[in-house]
């Protein structure tokens, strides 16, 4: 029972720190946010901050990862195989993530955001490819997952410049994205 309370307190503290960081990022550039700003806004001390995060870059990565995972229904996606529906769902999730971030992210975040999206997508796509191509070598499937993650991320960057819905944007690109492994 005590362990559950500890877990809840840890989760609550992390949530306070993340929420404080998100609120600060709406007002300040990332480089201008200090640990002191975060701890004051979250009403925690520096030691508590460093217990949960290595530094503000670690916090940024965890916040972005959490927001992305919130947009991805990973349980539903893992039940799919690689195809139109999975690619569309992943693209829509990334597009929603990009939309969510556009109001609160400033210059300097782009590379971190891109890396997080690509890494998460590759981890999700790999088992989908594995189900579809069980005889393929693991190395080839991992490389394909990485390439597809870059493709979906790149498409989301282009989508942000358009006025189309995510579905309308990705539909004509699916045949390119879904070329079968041979």
Residues 100 and 169 in one domain: yes
Regarding whether 30 and 93 lie in a shared domain, the answer is no
- Structural domain count, the chain: 2
Residue 58 resides in a domain: no
Same domain, 16 and 78: no
pLDDT at 42: 97
Low-confidence ranges of the chain (pLDDT < 70): 1-6, 74, 101-108, 180-182
Residue 14 lies in domain: 2-53
The verdict on 74 and 47 lying in the same domain is: no
Cβ neighbour number for residue 127 with a 10 Å cutoff = 16
- For residues 27 and 117, state if they share a domain: no
Residue 11 placed within a domain: yes
> Could you tell me the pTM of the whole model?
0.75
Structure tokens belonging to residue 41: 């806004």
105 with 86, same domain? Answer: yes
35 with 6, same domain?
Answer: yes
């Amino acid at each position: 029972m005590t362990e559950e309370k500890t877990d809840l307190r840890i989760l609550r503290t992390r949530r306070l720190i993340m929420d404080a960081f998100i609120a600060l990022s709406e007002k300040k550039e990332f480089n201008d946010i200090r640990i002191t700003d975060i701890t004051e806004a979250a009403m925690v001390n520096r030691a508590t901050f460093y217990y949960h995060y290595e530094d503000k870059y670690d916090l940024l990565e965890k916040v972005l990862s959490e927001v992305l995972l919130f947009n991805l229904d990973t349980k539903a996606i893992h039940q799919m195989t690689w195809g139109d529906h999975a690619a569309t769902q992943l693209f829509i999730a990334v597009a929603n993530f990009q939309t969510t971030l556009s109001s609160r992210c400033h210059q300097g975040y782009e590379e971190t955001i891109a890396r997080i999206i690509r890494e998460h997508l590759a981890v999700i796509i790999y088992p989908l490819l594995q189900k579809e191509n069980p005889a393929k070598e693991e190395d080839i499937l991992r490389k394909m997952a990485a390439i597809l993650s870059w493709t979906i991320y790149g498409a989301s960057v282009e989508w942000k410049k358009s006025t189309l819905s995510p579905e309308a944007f990705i539909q004509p690109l699916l045949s390119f994205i879904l070329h079968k492994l041979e």
